[in-house]
Amino acid sequence: MPEITVTLPDGSTKSVPEGSTVLDVAASIGARLAAAAVAGRVDDALVDVAHVVPDGSSVAIVTENSPEGLHILRHSTAHVMAEAVKDLFPTAEFGIGPAIEDGFYYDFQVDRPFTPDDLAAIETRMREIVAEAVSFKRGELDRLEAWDRFEGQDMKRELIDGLPEDETISIYTQGNFTDLCRGPHVPDTSRIRAFKLTKIAGAYWRGDSTRPMLQRIYGTAWYSEKELEEYLTRIEEAEKRDHRKIGKELDLFSFHEEAGAGLPLYHPKGARVLRLLQQWLRGVLYERGYVEVITPHIFKSDVWKISGHYENYRENMYFFEVDEGDGKTSEYGIKPMNCPGHLMIYADSMKSYRDLPIRMSEFGTVYRHEMSGVVHGLMRARSFTQDDAHIFCTPEQVHAEVLGMLDLVAYVNGVFGFEYSAEVSTRPEKSIGGDEYWKMATDALFAALDAKGVPYEINEGDGAFYGPKIDIKLKDAIGRTWQTSTIQVDYNMPQRFGLTYRTPENGEAQPIMLHRTILGSMERFFGILIEHYAGAFPTWLAPVQVVVIPISDRHLDYAHDVRAKLEKRGVRVEVYSDNEPMRIKIAKAQQQKTPYMLVVGDKEAESGQVGVRERTQGDLGARTIDELVAMVKEGDPLAS
C-alpha cells in the first residue's frame, strides 16, 4: 500500500499508509497515545480522530489531558444533553450548545420551563446514552440539504442563513440526534465519563432582549470523577464565599434597583476597607516617584473625539447634552477612563527631557455602559474606581518603566499572597495608529516580561484600541483566576493630544505614554479579596480590628476606656454595649469576622488588662494594652 509522510509537532516526520486517519497516526506512535486521543490538529485545523490526513500535512494529536481535549469533551457532552432533551421533550426546538469555561450549556425552546425534576431526568437519560458508546459521525450538506434537514427548527435555519455562501455546512449525528456543528467531537459517548447538570436559566435567543426567551441548561464535564468532585467542591466553596452574600452579612455595601444596575453604595465598613487600600497604595506610589492628580468625571465630547474614544469606545460610554446658555448646547461624556485628563495636565506646560519620566497617578472613578445581563456585583460594575496611572517617558525609558511596573505588581500581590501570571494582548481590529508604533509597543512588553521571568500567554487581537497590553491574572485561595493589573504601551494618545518634550539637542520629541493599573478596578479587587479571605480580612485591612465585650453593664466604663486608648494608638475598635449574654456578643463578633475580641470584667478592670480572643485561635489569655496593640499592628504595611 502506498505511504504518505506527515510532520509531527517536534519537527520529525512519519510515514503511514495512504488513507490513514488521525487515530492511525496516533497508533503508529504508541498505543497509549491512541487511547488518549480525542481529536487532532491537521495543518492547524482541529479535526476528528476519524479525519483522513493528507500527504505532507502537519499532524498533532489532541489528548484528554489537554485544554483543547477538555473543551471538545464538554462540547460533546452538550450534544448528548440535547439528545436527552429531544428524547424527553420531542417538541423542543434547539438553539446553540457551546463549551464554555468549566463546562457547557444548551439553549432550548420548550412548552414550559424546565424544573429540577426535569434536570434529574435529563441527566439520567444522558447516562443511558453515554453507556451505549454511540459514535459521533460527521456529515456535510449543501445549503438546501441543510435547510431540509432542520425542518421545524427555526433557530437552526436562522444559523444556516447566517453562514457565508462558500462555507462548508457540517453536521454531527449521535444516536437519533443531529446537530448543526463544526466539531470536532470525541470518538464516541463512552469518553464522557464524569458530568453534572448544574443549573437552569433563561436566555434570549442570540442575546437579544427583543427575541424569544429560551431555557438554558448549564452543566460541567471532566475526564474523571475525581476532577468532577474537585470542581463541584470548588463551586460549593465559591458559593459560600460569594462577595455579594458576604458583603450583605458584613454590612459592606449594597445595590439598589432604583439607583440602577452596577452602581454600588458603600456602607461605612466597606468604605473603610477601600480607603485603607487606597491609603496603603498611595504611600507605596509616593515612595516610587509617583505624583497624584485629580480630574473631572465629565469632559466635552471634543476631548473624547481627540482621544479616539468617541469613535472606538462610544458604545461603552454615557453622553448627555448641557445647556451652555444663549441657546447653545454642548455634548458631554462621562469618563470611562482617566487618560485624557492626565494628557491635558501634561500638555499644560512645556516639559524637558530632564522632567521625564512623569508618573501621574489617580484614584479615578469611571463609568462604563455594561449590559445589565453581564453586571455582577462588584466584579462587573458600571461605576468603579481605578488605581490608575500614566507614565510619560522617553523611548529609552520605556523598558525600565515597564520593569518598574512589574516590580510593583510583584510587591502588591506579595502583600496579599497571590500567585499570578500574565497575558499579552495584541492589536485589535478596531484600533488607531501605525503598524510601526504597534510593533515597538508590543515588543517592549514582551522584552520586559522576559527580563522579569514572568510566565505569559498571548491573546491575539484583544489589546486596547490605542495600544497592546499586559494583563495580570492572579490565583485566589480556591484556585480561581482573576484579571487585575494591566500595563499598556501607547504611542498614539500623546500624538493625538500633541504632547512634546524638549530634547537634549533643544529640539522637540513626542513622549511615550504608559497606562497602568495595579489593583485594577478597586471594586473588583475588593470583591476578589472578600472571596479570597471569605470575609476574614487580614487584621490590617479589617474594617473593625477589635471588639470590646463587657461582661456586664458595670464594665461598660472600662470597655470605653479601653476603646479610647486603642483608638489613640490607631486601632479600629467597637464596643458591644447591648444588654446581651457574653456568648451572644462573642458569636456576633465571630460572624463579623473580627480579628480580636477583648473580654473585660472585674479582673481586667482591676489589672488594666484585657482578655484576648483571636477569631481562629480562640482564647489567648490576658494581655496589656501595649501587647494587644503590638499584636494588631504585626505585619501591618500601613504601620511600616
Question: Percentage of the chain surpassing pLDDT 70?
Answer: 100
pLDDT confidence bin for 511, thresholds 50/70/90? very high
pLDDT, mean over the chain: 93
For the domain 254-533, what is the CATH superfamily, name and number?
Answer: Bira Bifunctional Protein; Domain 2 (3.30.930.10)
- pLDDT value for 464: 82
What pLDDT, in 10s, does the model give residues 342-376?
999 999 999 999 999 999 999 999 999 988 778 89
The alpha-carbon radius of gyration of the chain (Å, integer) is 30
Instruction: Give CA–CA dist 242/235, Å, rounded.
Output: 10
- pLDDT value for 291: 97
157-165 contacts at long range (C-beta below 8 A, 24 or more positions apart) = 159/96
Q: For residue 207, what is its C-alpha cell? A: 442575546
Nearest Cα to 485, choosing from 499, 498, 474, 501? 474
Instruction: Give CA–CA dist 504/366, Å, rounded.
Output: 38
Is it true that domain 539-633 has CATH number 3.40.50.800?
A: yes
Instruction: Give CA–CA dist 93/115, Å, rounded.
Output: 17
Torsions phi, psi of 359, nearest 5? -105, 100
User: What burial letters (b/e) apply to 488-524, b meaning 16+ CB within 10 Å?
Assistant: bbbbbbbbbbebbbeeeeeeeeebbbbbbbbbbbbbb
- pLDDT value for 460: 86
- pLDDT value for 312: 87
What pLDDT, in 10s, does the model give residues 141-188?
999 999 999 999 999 999 999 998 888 899 999 999 999 999 999 999
What pLDDT, in 10s, does the model give residues 541-599?
999 999 999 999 999 999 999 999 999 999 999 999 998 898 999 999 999 999 999 99
- pLDDT value for 265: 97
pLDDT confidence bin for 385, thresholds 50/70/90? very high
- Paired residues of 215 in beta bridges: 108, 202
- pLDDT value for 209: 79
Nearest Cα to 304, choosing from 325, 331, 267? 331
Helix (H), strand (E) counts: the chain: 20, 33
**Mean per-residue pLDDT for 183-206?**
94
- pLDDT value for 100: 93
**Mean per-residue pLDDT for 463-473?**
87
Mean pLDDT is lowest, of 184-198, 262-276, 463-477, for 463-477
Give pTM, 2 decimals: 0.81
Q: For residue 330, what is its C-alpha cell? A: 454642548
What pLDDT, in 10s, does the model give residues 36-72?
999 999 998 999 999 999 999 999 999 998 999 999 9
Element (H, E) at 446: helix 435-452
- pLDDT value for 640: 65
The catalytic residue positions are: 339, 368, 386, 388, 390, 469, 515
Q: What angle do CA 522, 523, 529 make, to 5 degrees?
A: 85
- pLDDT value for 110: 95
Q: How many residues does the chain have?
A: 640
Whether 432 shows a pLDDT value over 90: the answer reads no
Is residue 37 within 8 A of residue 26, CB to CB? The reply is: yes
Q: Where are the domains of the chain?
A: 3-63, 68-231, 254-533, 539-633
Mean pLDDT is lowest, of 145-149, 289-293, 476-480, for 476-480
What pLDDT, in 10s, does the model give residues 247-276?
999 999 999 999 999 999 999 999 999 999
CATH number of the 3-63 domain: 3.10.20.30
CATH code matching the domain that covers 68-231, chosen among 3.40.50.10490, 3.30.980.10, 3.40.50.1110, 3.40.50.720: 3.30.980.10
What pLDDT, in 10s, does the model give residues 614-635?
999 999 999 999 999 999 999 8
Element (H, E) at 179: strand 177-180
Alpha helices of 42-142 — where are they, by DSSP H?
67-88, 116-131
Q: Print the SS3 string covering 421-436.
A: EEEEECCCCCCCCCHH
- pLDDT value for 166: 81
Side-chain half-sphere exposure of 327, counting CA atoms within 13 A: 0
